[in-house]
């Protein structure tokens, strides 16, 4: 391509279909809305009834939205999710493995009863759903898989060894799948959020001591807002990142450098 031929249409997701696990709540909702605003139709599989306003936000952006209530860790779930998305939209261009949980306890109390469900959702469900979309993406000769990693893909972290271990595992899965799928026109990358002002961090932010401890570690001097992740996610899902593969994009205000 000639340099003069470059234009910003490479960031457009018009005509694309994005499958986003847990894409109706928390940071997942921000990913759904961002991709819809960039032109993608959105399919969200998640646990329980969808009581969020995500669908309204997606359709308000002029895109289609479909929801499937399903346990991502249940038998046959990956195949059912892929089949439902294909039945609804006819294609899958983007998979965002976003769904995850974080159970807490001290190191002695953190046993298999907490470890197993976290790995089942945070890692195994992501692996199985990625595996299930490969035939579709290979047939299209294109696709984007984005695994949601974390600062704790690089750190230890107290009170949840399974969270750190599972997020380290997601980096390994990202790199392994990139190595096999790049030749098929499929890019596999990770997005690693830092500390964000969401419901799950409210207790930390409302305590002046713990809030300041986090802020002192962030060169940007503030907690992340969910909107800070929307542009990076669009980039990883668009043609602008076609030569970006096997990378983890950390969006943390500089936390890891301090």
Report yes or no on 161 lying in a domain.
Answer: yes
Report yes or no on 207 lying in a domain.
Answer: no
Q: Please state the separation of Cα 78 from the chain's center in Å.
A: 16
Known active-site residue 163: yes
**Domains identified in the chain, total number:** 1
Instruction: Locate all alpha helices (DSSP H) within 90-207, ordered by sequence.
Output: 112-119, 125-140, 161-181, 202-206
- Its domain, for residue 155, covers 14-198+228-251
Whole-structure pTM value: 0.96
Report yes or no on 204 lying in a domain.
Answer: no
Please, are residues 35 and 144 in contact by the beta-carbon 8 Å criterion? no
A 10 A CB-CB count for 56 gives: 10
Catalytic residue among 31, 67, 154, 163: 163
pLDDT digits (tens, 9 = 90+) for 211-241: 999 999 999 999 999 999 999 999 999 999 9
Rounded Cα gap, residues 145 and 21, in angstroms: 12
CATH of the domain at 65: 3.40.50.720
Report yes or no on 112 lying in a domain.
Answer: yes
Render each residue's pLDDT in the chain as its tens digit; 258 residues: 788 888 899 999 999 999 999 999 999 999 999 999 999 999 999 999 999 999 999 999 999 999 999 999 999 999 999 999 999 999 999 999 999 999 999 999 999 999 999 999 999 999 999 999 999 999 999 999 999 999 999 999 888 999 999 999 999 999 999 999 999 999 999 999 999 999 888 989 999 999 999 999 999 999 999 999 999 999 999 999 999 999 999 999 999 999
Q: Residue 94's beta-bridge partner residues?
A: 18, 144
DSSP assigned state of 90: S
Report yes or no on 203 lying in a domain.
Answer: no
Report yes or no on 19 lying in a domain.
Answer: yes
Report yes or no on 149 lying in a domain.
Answer: yes
């Amino acid at each position: 391509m000639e340099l003069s031929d470059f234009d910003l249409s490479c960031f457009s997701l018009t005509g694309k279909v994005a499958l986003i696990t847990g894409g109706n709540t928390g940071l997942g909702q921000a990913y759904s809305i961002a991709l819809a605003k960039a032109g993608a139709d959105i399919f969200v599989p998640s646990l329980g009834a969808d009581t969020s306003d995500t669908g309204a936000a997606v359709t308000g952006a002029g895109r289609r939205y479909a929801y499937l209530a399903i346990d991502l860790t249940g038998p046959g779930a990956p195949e059912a999710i892929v089949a439902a998305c294909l039945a609804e939209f006819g294609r899958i261009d983007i998979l965002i493995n976003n769904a995850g949980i974080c159970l807490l306890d001290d190191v002695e109390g953190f046993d298999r009863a907490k470890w197993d469900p976290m790995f089942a959702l945070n890692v195994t469900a992501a692996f199985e759903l990625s595996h299930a979309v490969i035939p579709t993406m290979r047939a299209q000769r294109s696709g984007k898989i984005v695994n949601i990693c974390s600062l704790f893909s690089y750190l230890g972290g107290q009170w949840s060894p399974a969270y750190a271990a599972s997020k380290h595992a997601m980096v390994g899965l990202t790199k392994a799948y990139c190595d096999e799928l790049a030749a098929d026109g499929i890019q596999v990358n990770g997005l690693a959020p830092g500390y964000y002002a969401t419901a799950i961090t409210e207790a930390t932010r409302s305590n002046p001591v713990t809030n300041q401890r986090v802020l002192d570690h962030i060169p940007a001097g503030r907690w992340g807002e969910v909107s800070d992740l929307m542009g990076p996610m669009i980039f990883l899902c668009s043609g602008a990142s076609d030569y970006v593969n096997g990378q983890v994009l950390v969006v943390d205000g500089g936390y890891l450098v301090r």
